[in-house]
Amino acid sequence: MSLGQALNAGLRQAMERDPKVVLMGEDIGKLGGVFRVTEGLQRDFGDRRVIDTPLAESGVVGTAVGLAMRGYRPVCEIQFDGFVYPAFDQIVSQVAKLRHRNEGRVAMPLTIRVPYGGGIGAVEHHSESPEVYFAHTAGLRVVTPSNAADGHRMIQQAVACDDPVVFFEPKRRYWERGEVDEGLATTVAPLHQARVVVEGTDATIAAYGPMVATALEAARIGLQEGTSIEVIDLRSLSPVDFETIEASVRKTGRLVVAHEASVFCGLGAEIAARVSEHCFYHLESPVRRVGGLATPYPPSRLERHYLPDADRMLHEVDRCLQA
């Protein structure tokens, strides 16, 4: 399956399993969503469970809060990453705080799907990486799959979670295909657990979402050049599975963190600080970071210069090895 098809299959299974699961968003019904992730679901489950909403992200999320408080499990789609900001107040002021505010008596089983990142040649406001805004907000789980198998499993885990989950989907990976076992139990790995994708001995690259495929490319090139690189797919951005990262760093002694978002105040900064604190005597060099430039996302013709690639990752790995 492609990642988009895997997400569709995961949502279908979640809806079959629980009649309280409802999908909401702009053009997700008859059209099946801009990226066709919800294609066919309104036809099969009806327009009372797959709801085409007005063009009002704040209203979509606000309505979903009420549904969640009444026992439903709403799944909201934000059509593009740059459109999440009108709903930002609802998410950080209400969604993130309600369960804590009532001491857990009322759950907030709400999933907010956000296609994010660049690489598709889109226009302004359609290629952003806002994940750190939400990872910084206590009370939210923030996760992102990098492949079809994880997308299928993790969307079901997110929907079943009693905490609010902001589910970032790497839009330029929607069409990349992989093996998916639809019968695999969603309990195989917890939603917050990172995964060692490729084992190595010389350096670690920790990445998430769209950057995992790029990190794997860097690892393949590195191996040809005689450098053994371990690649970690973080999967969860809040909470972060530091145990897996630190175990890898204790083995390799070097860490590069990669993401599309700007390096300044990005998730890589928190990981670098934590690893430097907990693995100080195992590090052979400072933790390096690779990310987007400290500018607004550029026009599509320039995005290949903005987005981190395998060469930039390998440059930082080389700096680690030479330190």
Q: Which amino acid would we find at residue 210?
A: P
Q: Is the dihedral of CA 63, 68, 71, 74 positive or negative?
A: positive
Q: What pLDDT was estimated at residue 262?
A: 94
Residues β-bridged to residue 25: 52, 77
**pLDDT band at residue 155 under the 50/70/90 scheme:** very high
Write down the catalytic residue from 126, 259, 278, 315: 126
Q: Which amino acid would we find at residue 183?
A: G
In 3D space, the residue among 144, 55, 57, 162 whose CA is nearest the CA of residue 108 turns out to be 162
Contact in structure between 216 and 166 (CB atoms under 8 Å): no
Write the pLDDT tens digit of every residue in 164-215.
999 999 999 999 999 999 887 666 789 999 999 999 999 999 999 999 999 9
For 3-173, CATH gives 3.40.50.970
Contact in structure between 231 and 201 (CB atoms under 8 Å): no
**pLDDT band at residue 323 under the 50/70/90 scheme:** confident
**Helices and strands per DSSP (H, E), number in the chain:** 12, 12
Instruction: Give the span between the Cα atoms of 161 and 73, in whole angstroms.
Output: 9
Q: Say which residues have a Cβ less than 8 Å from residue 227's Cβ, sequence separation at least 6.
A: 202, 203, 314, 317, 321
Write the pLDDT tens digit of every residue in 223-273.
999 999 999 999 999 999 999 999 999 999 999 999 999 999 999 999 999
Average pLDDT, the chain: 95
For 195-322, CATH gives 3.40.50.920
Cis peptide before 308 (omega within 30 of 0): no
For the chain, the distance separating the N- and C-terminal CA atoms, rounded to the nearest angstrom, is 42
Q: What pLDDT was estimated at residue 189?
A: 82
3-state SS class at 171: helix
The domains of the chain are located at 3-173, 195-322
Write the pLDDT tens digit of every residue in 43-70.
999 999 999 999 999 999 999 999 999 9
Task: Provide φ and ψ at 79, rounded to 5°.
Answer: -60, -40
Catalytic residue check, 192: no
Percentage of residues of the chain with pLDDT beyond 70: 99
* 3-173 and 195-322 have identical folds: yes
How many Cβ atoms are within 10 Å of 54's Cβ, its own excluded? Answer: 8
pTM over 0.85: yes
Q: What pLDDT was estimated at residue 249?
A: 98
Percentage of residues of the chain with pLDDT beyond 90: 92
Whether the predicted pLDDT of 79 surpasses 80: yes
